[in-house]
Amino acid sequence: MRQLNLIFMSAAIMLTSCAGTKDTGQTEPIIGRSDIKIEGKRMTPEALWAMGRIGGVTVSPDEKQLAYTVSYYSVPENKSNSEVFVMNADGSGDKQITHTVCKENEVAWIKDGSKLAFLSSESGSSQVWEMNPDGSERKQLTNYNSDIEGFSFSPDGKKLLFIAEVKTIKSTAEKYPDLPKASGIIVTDLMYKHWDEWVKSAPHPFVADFDGKGISNSTDILKGEPYECPMKPFGGMEQLAWNPASDKIAYTCRKKTGLEYATSTNSDIYIYDLKTGKTIDITEENKGYDVNPQYSPDGKYIAWQSMERDGYESDQNRLFVMDLATGEKRFISKAFESNVDGFLWNKNSRSLYFFGVWHGETQIYNVNLTTNDTITQLTDGMCDYASLALAGNKIIAKRHSMSMGDEIYAVDNSRNGNAFAAVKQLSFENKPIYDQLEMGKVEARWMKTTDGQEMLTWVIYPPQFDPHKKYPTLLYCEGGPQSPISQFWSYRWNFQIMAAHGYIVVAPNRRGLPGFGLKWNEEISGDYGGQCMKDYFTAIDNMAKEPYVDKDRLGCVGASFGGFSVYWIAGHHNKRFKAFIAHDGIFNMQMQYLETEEKWFANWDMGGAYWEKENKVAQQTYANSPHLFVDKWDTPILCIHGEKDYRILASQAMAAFDAAKMRGVPAELLIFPDENHWVLKPQNGILWQRTFFEWLDKWLKKH
């Protein structure tokens, strides 16, 4: 088994140059490939950031090999890097084939499997390169005039579909050439900011001829229109697809700008005909999100994910299939009362595999189109599956849990009688670290809520848990607000590192989370201070009855909607808690309605604008704004926020911190000027973890 790529231990490795790789195929091997030594088997921030993070996985045309990427992080250099690996489809022969600092990404098999294509910044901008499957003979294939952000070769290998940014807004210097150093941005409509950037451009799909050596005759499929494809901030090449005949491209687009874009989620699936240059909209009648098209292998069908209602970004994500000959459309995942989070056609074009969350676990399913869309669950266990590919009679998938990050697995593509499909782990990227760590037990508990429902709550215990001792305990509040508490693994909100610091973690699947039926999922919009908050109290009060939970040392933590939850609970907890931590949370809901960029979210979840005095749902929402209950705050609180977070502005945390200090409540503020809704830079991540635990230990640990 290969040694751990421990780049965080050596600053020198990040100084490795890409120069010369055109001739040699690789630079010198990375320095510091040795195992990390962990004292006391306790998870630390440094151990988390030393872990390699597996990216995309792709199968060779002969289905005998897998190629995948792994990202590594250097804490001293405060940078990341990604490398390409190849292994046999049975997991043997695992080998790193690139050794540069050029961030090799988006690896794909081309030329009948004789070459690997990938994105690299080796030439100064991100372009498409190719190499042999052993990493030799690196060669640049594109020299486009800007960064290529994603790509896909046509099935016949004669064309290249790629993504690049196009300017959509004239700069100040272009309007006033005599003011070239002016930094002001003139805003005339909404969506002037999005996620973590001031919007000046949009990604567009281009298609170009490819002769095996390079590209020519590139065409903007959107024809210069000011729309996004793929859609920001998270869309990638999964939002576009070639048909098997290589003469059509299906793509996802929300053809709206400004106020219309800011208030609507109505995206559609379009089909662009390369021969005629014409585009048709195949989902015009649906008013919510339509995303991620995939053609069936025989080219007769197209499938995609679809949400029904405009403005509701957490509507049920349904799997649809269209017969391209007849135009008939079917909602084929109807029997699965949760979200389809990803899918893949079977080779026979008669069934599809998909994964989705149910009761806190994300499993793989098969839906059969020839038997009235019968759905069969293929996998089980306390884990989440993600990403799907086919290799022979195996499904190649990534899998993670609350106790282990992503690794690559092979899953049988069918069940053996009543038994679930056989599963084999193929990659062991972080085994040298896991072997030195002692993980805490993860337990599922069902609890009776105040309205008589059953709620799944995950409980994570410290390593070497002793039921005869008393432990400080944390209530974890999930974000979203409608993202599941499944078996997720996080490099920041990591339950095992909380447990390793001696805390019991209580993570309830409160009202408004998917995986428990549509009604449960929808009982939060317009009711932020309602049943979901009662569910939180149910979870912590239930656990506080256990003899090993110290009810005098309870903490409450969360981010995004979880941060809102912390701010709200701080004014309603009746002295249950002794410490709070809120990250990127909403403090003042009236200001949030105007500050956030995606107005559809605020309109749906808050029920409307705060000035709509006759709108009872909206008025109930704003009456539950956390800032209205600061007079009840009496417990130490840590507020964390990123200044590049345009989803929830950092002014929310600053206001909460100021309010606490003016009330005489012990408070601390951690601001990241260069982070968005997440914390992505290695040193900021370490700082986040240290500050997080210093605050909790200060108020919850006995001295």
Mean pLDDT over residues 327-344, rounded?
A: 98
**Residue range 288-312, pLDDT digits in tens:** 999 999 999 999 999 999 999 999 9
Give me the mean pLDDT over the 3-31 stretch.
36
Given a cut of 70, whether residue 39 has pLDDT beyond it is yes
pLDDT above 70 (res 13): no
Question: What integer is the mean pLDDT of 185-202?
Answer: 95
- Spatial neighbors of 96 by CB under 8 A, at least 6 apart, are 2, 5, 70, 83, 84, 85
Query: Residue 119: which H helix or E strand, with range?
Result: strand 115-120
Check residue 673 and give its pLDDT. 98
Give the whole-number percent of the chain exceeding pLDDT 90: 92
Mean pLDDT score across all residues of the chain: 93
Q: What's the Rg (C-alpha) of the chain?
A: 26
- pLDDT band, very low/low/confident/very high, at 37 (cuts 50, 70, 90): confident
What is the rounded distance in angstroms from the CA atom of residue 176 to the CA atom of residue 190? 22
Q: Which range is least confidently modeled, 16-20, 504-508, 516-520? A: 16-20
Residue 20 scores a pLDDT above 90:
no
The residues, any chain, with a CB within 8 Å of residue 143's CB and separated by 6 or more, are 123, 127, 214
In this structure, which CATH number among 2.60.40.10, 3.40.50.1820, 3.40.50.720, 3.90.1200.10 belongs to the domain 439-700? 3.40.50.1820
Active site residue 560: yes
pLDDT confidence of 605, banded at 50, 70, 90? very high
403 is catalytic: no
Annotated catalytic residue within 120, 306, 560, 625: 560
Biggest distance spanned by C-alpha atoms of the chain: 76
Q: Over 60: is that where the pLDDT of 563 sits?
A: yes
pTM, two decimals, is: 0.94
Distance of alpha carbon 333 from alpha carbon 340, whole angstroms: 8
Q: Is the pLDDT of residue 213 over 70?
A: yes
Q: What is the pLDDT of residue 40?
A: 80
Mean pLDDT, rounded, for 136-162? 97
Q: What letters, b where the CB count within 10 A reaches 16 and e where it falls short, cover 183-206?
A: eeeeeeebbbbbbbeebeebbbbb
Q: Quick one: pLDDT band at residue 36, thresholds 50, 70, 90?
A: confident
Give CA–CA dist 314/512, Å, rounded: 10
Give the whole-angstrom CA distance, residue 211 versus residue 431.
42
18 has pLDDT over 80: no
Catalytic residue among 94, 196, 584, 645: 645
Name 59's bridge partners. Answer: 66
Domain ranges of the chain: 439-700
In the chain, the percentage of residues whose pLDDT exceeds 70 is 95
Q: Name the pLDDT band for 102 (thresholds 50, 70, 90).
A: confident
Instruction: Tell me how far apart the alpha carbons of residues 681 and 687 are, in angstroms, rounded to a whole number.
Output: 10
Q: Where are the beta strands (DSSP E) in 422-503?
A: 423-425, 442-448, 454-460, 471-477
Residue 400 appears among annotated catalytic residues = no
pLDDT at 5: 32
Sheet containing strand 139-140, strands side by side:
105-110, 115-120, 127-131, 139-140
Q: Tell me which residue has tokens 């209530």.
A: 475
Cross-strand bridge partners of residue 698: none
Torsion of CA 170, 174, 175, 180, to 10 degrees: 130
Identify which of 324, 218, 340 has the alpha carbon closest to the alpha carbon of residue 332.
340
Single out the residue of 489, 478, 487, 486 nearest to residue 511, CA to CA: 478
